Structure 1
Amino acid sequence: MPYVLLALGILFALAAGNAHAPRRSAVLLAPSFFWGWLTIEMAPHVLVTWAAATALVAGFGGLDGWAGWTGLVLAILGMAGVAATLVASRRTVVTLRDSGAPLDLDPEGAPAYPLAHLIVPQLCLIPRKGVRVERNIVYRQDGRLRLKLDVFHAAGERSGEGLRPGLMQIHGGAWVIGDKREQGLPLLNHMALQGWVGFNVNYRLSPRATWPEHLIDLKHFLAWYKEHAEEYGADPGFLCVTGGSAGGHLTAMVALTANVPEFQPGFEDADTRVQGAVPFYGVYNFFEAGPWPRPMGTTHLMERMVVKQPFADNQEAYARASPVTYLREDAPPFFVIHGSRDSLIPVAEARRFVECLRDVSSSPVLYAEMKGAQHAFDVFPSYRTARVIEGVERYLTGLHRQYRQGGPQEVPDEIKRSWGERSVG
């Protein structure tokens, strides 16, 4: 048993080390991400499991010899490293307030994030009490192509209660995998309880789909929303968009390419404007290196599966797929969110996008950098996820309140009060 405890100690120490310093080499990138992702975002569960395993092995003779004691020391060090990630997550509220997110907006009316979901994360796959979900609604049909979405409402809503703000959720998955049933669920459930109508939207995936077909599908949803929003109690004149990873890239593209004919073939006259965007850990520039050793467009994923054109001979195609190409003064308000320990999309990618957008846009551009967070941190209903969801909800509620008052797109008063004299760019 002493060598079993030694093996556990080494494993725990390596996992904790990877959580704090994930590997970015081509070979270790994927396993390092998944290992670090689970360790960081499931830290309370990891600590309980590790402590139980260590105590069990020690109780069955694991400390009989130097190997066992060495393993115990390593296990304790590993658990301390994981505990440090919990300390970092507790700074989420401070981070959000520093970014300008108005956490003090309507605090008494907001339902608390359910403790049961934090203890049993799988519960986030089930609609929360008070939420009704209409599934597999077809929003685009063209021959054999049938694209579907799920709608999240507050249960018991009636059409006479007035139209509600809409939120479009775009799943991630590197443009090749993912589904509406898997991502954005904690946010959509929370937003539904706050009176929003959420639309979790599927779109065609590569390699079957070739860029920009992914974006064109989402533009079709925007056109569909204008025509059908009222059927689901949503205001056709107000829609915000959010998504993570590839969904973060698509969120930014949706927000910045309103009414661009290239992405609306056959429905160029449709109004595809949105009133706010919240991209999580997205890619915003495919044609310049910067945070990357080489441009993202040069990767096998983009050249062979998504854009399907050699980068060296078609850099303009990759520029047209990049949100930074479409920065404009009349861009809608943005709230960009990224994790500081993101091993798949470096946090510097978000920083440079925010800087460029602030230089151009006349609307508020908020940025929250989650200390210690990995890529896709919000998939799990953790303490950090709960606080981020609350911050996003209150930010978007401020935008909707401003919309109802008929004011221009500027920094809402709630954000000014929470941010003091800081500039939003």
Structure 2
Amino acid sequence: MSWALLGVGVVAAAAVFNAYIPARLRWLIVPGFFAAWLTIELALHLLIGGAALVTWLALAGGLSDWRGGLGLGLCVVAGGGLVGLYLRSRGGAAALTEFYREAGIEAVGEVPRFPRSHIAIPWLTFHRRDVEVRRGVPFCEVAGQTLCLDVYSPRAPGRRRPAIVQVHGGAWFLGFKEYQGIPLLTHLARHGWVGFNVDYRLSPKATFPAHLIDVKRAIAWVREHADEYGVDPDFIVVTGGSAGGHLAALVGLTAGDPEYQPGFEAADTSVRAAVVFYGVLDLKNRKYRGLLERVVLKVRYAEHPELFLRASPIDRVHAGAPPFLVIHGSRDTLCAVEDARRFVAALRGVSHAPVRYLEMKGAEHAFDIFASVRTVPVIEAVERFLAAQHRDYLASMAASTAASVVESTVADAVANAGTNAVAAETAAAFAAGSAQAPAT
């Protein structure tokens, strides 16, 4: 048992150390990310579960020699580190407060709130009884492959609801729509939204911009089937994380671009807002270049830099972009937080629409996969941001309708006034003619 206790202590200490100081060696980056991600977002669970395991090992004789004592010491140190990670996760309140202040929206939202029970039992995130899910709905067939989407909607029927298209991540060559974006989609469905979690062709078989074209096909499909799913075709937003964040950002920045709509150039692929979670926003960054050259774009940056520029959201910013919300973790080991900051600054410099930024202190990549003390308030903030965009849209529609009614009323009044004037003139002429006529 002393060896077991020592092993638990070594693993716990290594996991916590990696969460604070991520691995930098190339071959350790991906496994280091997974270890850090789970350690950070499940810090409280690991602390409670680890304490129970260490107590059991100690009572079973694990402290019979120096190995057990060393293991216990490492577990105590790791436990202190887990407490620090948990407190840091809760420390995002300051960033959220600043976000609400800057966006001019209320921090206290409407009911229903995100279920806090899902923080204690994270797998409940994927089993929501209050949300209807239809899986595997085909939306297009391209290159011999049928692409599908999953629909998340309120159980009660409705019409002209706001819609959101979710794009999964996975470095453009893997990923599963069934396990990404679920906290946001289910929370929005409880607030009356309809969500569409979409497939797209993956590399290395697919070459960019095939991925982007497929997402735009999905948006066009949602508009075509708006009545069937109770969606307002004039209010669709897009979101995604990591590679999906890259694609979501490009969707927001390239509406109607015929280069990315072959065969459906006339389709409306515009969106009312884009929410980008820890996206890849500058493809010129050396961090991604090897993967992009070999697997995604399949050209060398030195030979075709223009292709990397056209595929980089930071190089596609323009004044007509829709409202953006960019969310990134300060400790993201896979996608550079510096790129997110530069993208926001570049977009704010030209866009006429709001550009919001929410940087979560200590957060790793993919922190929103399941409910946690960090994920839940972020998801609620996104819902309130999008609800504000929807309210503005409804207000503008109401104002436009009122203006049309006034214009129509004025036009009718003018027409009626003209008709009355003609009638009066005719009557006067008839009366005058009658007076001059000879008596019979």
Q: Which is bigger in relative contact order (C-alpha 8 A, separation at least 6)?
A: 1
Query: SS state of the match for residue 286, structure 1?
Result: coil
The question of 1:211 aligning with 2:201 is answered no
Q: Which has the larger radius of gyration?
A: 2
Find the counterpart in structure 2 of residue 62 from structure 1: 62
Find the counterpart in structure 2 of residue 96 from structure 1: 96
Q: Aligned letter for 2:332?
A: D
Query: SS state of the match for residue 151, structure 2?
Result: strand
Rate the CA distance shift 1:103–1:57 in 2: closer, same or farther, 3 A: farther
Q: Give the Cα–Cα distance (whole angstroms) in 1 for the partners of residues 107 and 388 of structure 2.
A: 8
Q: Give the Cα–Cα distance (whole angstroms) in 2 for the partners of residues 216 and 369 of structure 1.
A: 29
Moved more, 382-391 or 393-402: 382-391
Q: Give the Cα–Cα distance (whole angstroms) in 1 for the partners of residues 144 and 162 of structure 2.
A: 32
Find the counterpart in structure 2 of residue 139 from structure 1: 139
The question of 1:323 aligning with 2:325 is answered no
Displacement of 1:116 after TM fit?
3.4
Q: Give the Cα–Cα distance (whole angstroms) in 1 for the partners of residues 25 and 272 of structure 2.
A: 39
Q: Is the 8 A contact 2:8 2:71 kept in 1?
A: yes
Q: Is the 8 A contact 2:107 2:381 kept in 1?
A: no
Rate the CA distance shift 1:373–1:102 in 2: closer, same or farther, 3 A: farther
Structure 2, unaligned runs of 5 or more: 399-440
Rate the CA distance shift 1:395–1:8 in 2: closer, same or farther, 3 A: same
Query: What TM-score do the two structures reach when normalised by structure 2?
Result: 0.86
Displacement of 1:102 after TM fit?
6.1
What per-residue deviation string (whole Å, max 9, x for no partner) do you get for residues 47-70 of structure 1? 122111211111122223333222
Q: Is the 8 A contact 1:103 1:390 kept in 2?
A: no
Find the counterpart in structure 2 of residue 227 from structure 1: 224
Q: Aligned letter for 2:16?
A: A
Query: SS state of the match for residue 39, structure 1?
Result: helix
Q: Is the 8 A contact 1:102 1:394 kept in 2?
A: no
Instruction: Please give the residue correspondences for 1:403-422 in structure 2 after superposition, counting only pairs within 5 Å.
Output: 403-406=393-396
Query: SS state of the match for residue 379, structure 1?
Result: coil
Moved more, 165-174 or 4-13: 4-13
Q: Give the Cα–Cα distance (whole angstroms) in 1 for the partners of residues 40 and 370 of structure 2.
A: 10
Query: SS state of the match for residue 27, structure 1?
Result: helix
Rate the CA distance shift 1:286–1:401 in 2: closer, same or farther, 3 A: same
Q: Aligned letter for 2:201?
A: R
Query: SS state of the match for residue 151, structure 1?
Result: strand
Find the counterpart in structure 1 of residue 27 from structure 2: 27
Instruction: Please give the residue correspondences for 1:13-412 in structure 2 after superposition, counting only pairs within 5 Å.
Output: 13-100=13-100, 104=106, 107=109, 109-126=110-127, 128-142=128-142, 144-158=144-158, 162-287=159-284, 289=285, 294=286, 296=288, 298-299=289-290, 301-406=291-396
Rate the CA distance shift 1:102–1:55 in 2: closer, same or farther, 3 A: farther
Rate the CA distance shift 1:105–1:40 in 2: closer, same or farther, 3 A: closer
What per-residue deviation string (whole Å, max 9, x for no partner) do you get for residues 8-55 of structure 1? 222211111111111122111011101101111111221122111211
Q: Give the Cα–Cα distance (whole angstroms) in 2 for the partners of residues 372 and 8 of structure 1.
A: 25
Displacement of 1:142 after TM fit?
4.0
Q: Give the Cα–Cα distance (whole angstroms) in 1 for the partners of residues 46 and 397 of structure 2.
A: 47
Rate the CA distance shift 1:185–1:285 in 2: closer, same or farther, 3 A: same
Query: SS state of the match for residue 162, structure 2?
Result: strand
Q: Is the 8 A contact 1:131 1:154 kept in 2?
A: yes
Q: Aligned letter for 1:270?
A: A
Q: Give the Cα–Cα distance (whole angstroms) in 1 for the partners of residues 108 and 150 of structure 2.
A: 27
Q: Is the 8 A contact 2:182 2:370 kept in 1?
A: no
Q: Share of identical aligned residues, percent?
A: 48
Q: Give the Cα–Cα distance (whole angstroms) in 1 for the partners of residues 64 and 50 of structure 2.
A: 20
Q: Give the Cα–Cα distance (whole angstroms) in 2 for the partners of residues 76 and 213 of structure 1.
A: 50
Displacement of 1:105 after TM fit?
5.7
Q: Is the 8 A contact 1:211 1:307 kept in 2?
A: yes
Q: Give the Cα–Cα distance (whole angstroms) in 2 for the partners of residues 394 and 321 of structure 1.
A: 30
What per-residue deviation string (whole Å, max 9, x for no partner) do you get for residues 224-279 of structure 1? 12211121011000011111000110110100011111111122222211010110
What root-mean-square deviation, in Å, do the aligned CA atoms of Structure 1 and Structure 2 show?
Answer: 1.7
Q: Give the Cα–Cα distance (whole angstroms) in 1 for the partners of residues 269 and 280 of structure 2.
A: 21
Q: Aligned letter for 2:45?
A: H
Q: Give the Cα–Cα distance (whole angstroms) in 1 for the partners of residues 97 and 267 of structure 2.
A: 37
Rate the CA distance shift 1:386–1:103 in 2: closer, same or farther, 3 A: farther
What per-residue deviation string (whole Å, max 9, x for no partner) do you get for residues 294-339 of structure 1? 252x21x211111111221111111111111210011111110011
Query: SS state of the match for residue 274, structure 2?
Result: strand
Q: Is the 8 A contact 1:249 1:282 kept in 2?
A: yes
Query: SS state of the match for residue 46, structure 1?
Result: helix
Query: SS state of the match for residue 98, structure 1?
Result: helix
Q: Give the Cα–Cα distance (whole angstroms) in 2 for the partners of residues 95 and 110 of structure 1.
A: 22
Displacement of 1:117 after TM fit?
2.1
Q: Give the Cα–Cα distance (whole angstroms) in 2 for the partners of residues 321 and 49 of structure 1.
A: 45
Rate the CA distance shift 1:26–1:400 in 2: closer, same or farther, 3 A: same
Query: What TM-score do the two structures reach when normalised by structure 1?
Result: 0.89
Q: Is the 8 A contact 1:97 1:103 kept in 2?
A: no
Q: Aligned letter for 2:123?
A: Q
Displacement of 1:94 after TM fit?
2.5
Rate the CA distance shift 1:273–1:314 in 2: closer, same or farther, 3 A: same
Displacement of 1:89 after TM fit?
1.3
Find the counterpart in structure 1 of residue 426 from structure 2: none
Q: Is the 8 A contact 1:102 1:391 kept in 2?
A: no
